[in-house]
Each structure stands twice: as structure tokens, then as C-alpha cells.
Structure 1
Amino acid sequence: MINSLDARLVGRVAGTLLAAALLGGLVTGASRPSLVLKDDRFIDAETPGVLTIEAGECFDDPAYDVAYADVVVFYRPCVEGADNQSYGFLQVPEGDWDEARVREYAWDGCRGAQDRRWPNGDPGVALYPVLPTAQTWADGDRTVMCVRYRPTGKLSATDTR
């Protein structure tokens, strides 16, 4: 019998492998999406490798790595063109938080951080927050990572200034 954690892991691996297949060219170009939209469920604090990324650093989308036998996020120098860039961190204040309030706080906080850093906007660049999970929250993690990406492809070196 699969418990909820096992089911979540299987779902994450299956979803990531499907995304990798679609984005990696394992399907025909005609069926490949031209726009990739990421949200607060794309990766989370338990995605291997994400906790090694610091503010300002870039990283690739999670992908299965044979050496790690897991879906992993890897750092990539921003000048090489990366899928994502971390541009800041938020700390959720102490208090009584449910999942919906954490999500709202993360989205609002990351939008505010983006507006402060790029006050004139940044056309074609979107954002998403990386949230703590129920498990990391129970362990005391209240950190949200704010991430930028280009829905139509990789970020360029000028995007990641």
C-alpha cells in the first residue's frame, strides 16, 4: 500500500519526467508547449538541491539524475543561461498559518521583492515562490524562495542582472 508521502513522491517524479519529456524534445515539436508556466507547486523545499541555491544564483528545472537516482535541482551559472534565478528569500512570521495564507503571503512578498529590484518591470519574465512543505514547516522552516523565469525559454545573462 502506498502512503501519502510515497504517492506524493511518485506524483512529483512522474510530473517532472513528463515535463522533462515535453521540454526535452522527447515528443514532436508540434505537440511541445511554447509557453511553460510555473507556480508554487512546481518545486518546493523538499526538492533535492533547491536548498543549496542562494539569492542571485541560477538553476535549472528539476530533472531526474541517474547518479542521484532522484529528481534534482542543479545550480547553473547565470551567464550560461538558466531556467530559473533565485532573487530573494522571505521569512513567514510566527503565527497561525494555513496553507492558503502561506501561499498568499509568498506570492505577495515575491511580487513586492521583484517590484523593488526591478521597479520598471521586466517584460517576459515571470515569478513563482518555492514554499516550505508540511514536513519542513513542522521542522521549523518558514523560508520562501522567490524565483524568476522566462516562460518562453531560458533566462539570458541580461535577465539575471
Structure 2
Amino acid sequence: MLGVVLGLCAVTLAPARADLTRASVHKDEHFVTAETPGILDIEAGECFTDPAFHPSAGGEVVLYTPCGQRSDNQAYSFVHLPDGPFDRDRVAAQAWDRCERGFTVLSIDAALDFYPVVPTRETWADGDRDVMCVAYDPAGSLAGSVLPRA
């Protein structure tokens, strides 16, 4: 009986321990772009996985994940950038600035960090001016929604 209890404890603790030993990760505006398959299916407030290879998709995709489960990222807002010619550095700078404002206003947990998902030259040419602002935990996965309860 004791062996079964110890075995169950080891199985129960394994996922938490994996998060504690996971190397810290830094995500930036290149981590996920507007062209990453699956990202356009994510709406504000929703959680999603990091890009991973999926055989059925034939490449890397991000997938929606309920925020009540462990997830890698949560879209906390969208911001709209002004029209103009595409300049990657300008677009990235505006995206970081506007996402930081939202991150600060929401008072999201200080242990978390954020990154913007920015339009690419191709999506910009198609009229895409929206930036997705995403929160994540550099030390592991999110245990639930990072958004304040209303």
C-alpha cells in the first residue's frame, strides 16, 4: 500500500517539478508572428501553446488551450497600429510600447513577462495593423488566467 501511495505522489509531483527545473525563457517579437499558423485563431483573453511541430499541420503551429489548464501564453489585449509604410523596427517599437502600457495597467503579476505578436511585411501589405499582446511566465507555464477578475 505504501508503495502505491509513494508512486502516486511521484506521478502527482512530476509535472510541478518539471516546471521548477525548466530553464528560464525569454520571448520577443520574433517568437511568434502574425504568420505563425494558429495565431490568428486566438482572441483576447485566450490562452495558447508555444509553437510546436504537429504532423497533421506539417509544421509548427500554436494551439488554443483553455486558461483553466496549464498554458504557455495568454493574449491579454490587442492594439491597432497607425497606417504607414512597413518598417519592421518602427512596428516592433510601437508594439512593445503599447503592449507594455496594457501590461502595466492590468497590473499583471510581476513574475510574468510579455511580448508582442506583430504583423509581418506580408500581413502588413494585406492591411494587418493589429498587435497581439501576450503574457507568459519566463520560469514555466501559466497555472490559469493572468487577467484580473472583473
* TM-score class, shorter: 0.7 to 0.9
TM-score, normalization by structure 2: 0.80
Cα deviations across residues 17-58 of structure 1 (Å, max 9, x unaligned)?
xxxxxxxxxxxx9xx861111000001000000000000000
User: How far apart, CA to CA, are the structure 2 residues paired with 1:94 and 1:106?
Assistant: 13
Q: Residue 140 of structure 1: CA displacement?
A: 0.8
Question: Is 2:123 the counterpart of 1:123?
Answer: no
Aligned partner of 2:63 among 46, 49, 74 = 74
Q: Residue 159 of structure 1: CA displacement?
A: 3.1
Aligned partner of 1:38 among 4, 20, 27 = 27
> Counterparts of 1:52-131 in structure 2 under 5 Å?
52-118=41-107, 121-131=108-118
Distance 1:46 1:158, change over 3 A: closer
Number of the residue aligned with 2:128:
141
RMSD: 1.7
Give the percent of matched residue pairs that are identical in Structure 1 and Structure 2: 47
Contact 1:55 1:88 in 2 (8 A): yes
Distance 1:134 1:41, change over 3 A: same
Distance 1:158 1:59, change over 3 A: closer
User: How far apart, CA to CA, are the structure 2 residues paired with 1:115 and 1:106?
Assistant: 14
Gaps of at least 5 residues in structure 1 are 1-28
SS in 2 for 1:107: helix
SS in 1 for 2:68: helix
Aligned-partner residue type, residue 24 of structure 2: L
Aligned-partner residue type, residue 66 of structure 1: P
TM-score, normalization by structure 1: 0.75
User: How far apart, CA to CA, are the structure 1 residues paired with 2:97 and 2:37?
Assistant: 25
Gaps of at least 5 residues in structure 2 are 1-17
